[in-house]
Amino acid sequence: MVLRLKPRESRSLPGRQRTLSSTPLSLIRQRFYPAPAPFYARAAVFTDSLEACPDYQGASVFAAQVPTWEEEFDDPARPTFMWGIPQDVDMSGTHSVELYFLWNIAGMRQPLTSAQQRLGEQMDQYWAAFARTGNPTVPGQAAWPAVTAGAHPVLGLHPTGNSVSASFVADHQCDFWSSVFR
């Protein structure tokens, strides 16, 4: 099983105020998610609390049953592709934006750079290896270790080079979200 994560993926979720453990989202944003606009902070809160951290925890559960790998697609300059969204709203972190790196889909606001095209080719190779062998390891590319009981690596997919993240839990405030959702 390969679990796929994207930082700040929930930018497309509607803005609503929620309260978690009697801590208003506005206080959570101030403490953990400084951002140029509340929209982006809220997207980070929703991504981390409802997607990134629960998926990270889920990978450990899956790994006890089946071979499991986890990756995070993370290209800060990925193109925005949403139709009908104003140019000044960055929707580049939305769900499925990585598909433009894999297939030639019309509608991107800008073409992929050569580094992004290389990343797309590497992703193709990882997925093909996984489909062919049940293991996404590809000779000559960054090692993608499996999640095990003793280790929880997350492969970061970046145009500047893929690497295993040592800071996924901290980057996504997973310890905080675990305490909130107990």
10-54 pLDDT, tens digit each: 444 444 334 444 556 666 766 677 777 777 777 788 888 888 999
The CATH code of the domain that includes 69 is 3.40.50.1820
Taking Cα atoms as reference points, which of 22, 49, 44, 24 lies closest to residue 34?
44
Residue 179 pLDDT level (bands cut at 50, 70, 90): confident
**Whole-angstrom Cα Rg for the chain:** 17
Residue 57 backbone zone (phi > 0: left; psi -120 to 50: alpha; other: beta): alpha
* Average pLDDT for the chain: 79
For residue 14, give its domain range: 2-180
Left (φ > 0), alpha (ψ -120 to 50) or beta: where does 110 sit? beta
Q: Provide the domain count of the chain.
A: 1
Token reading at 161: 């080079």
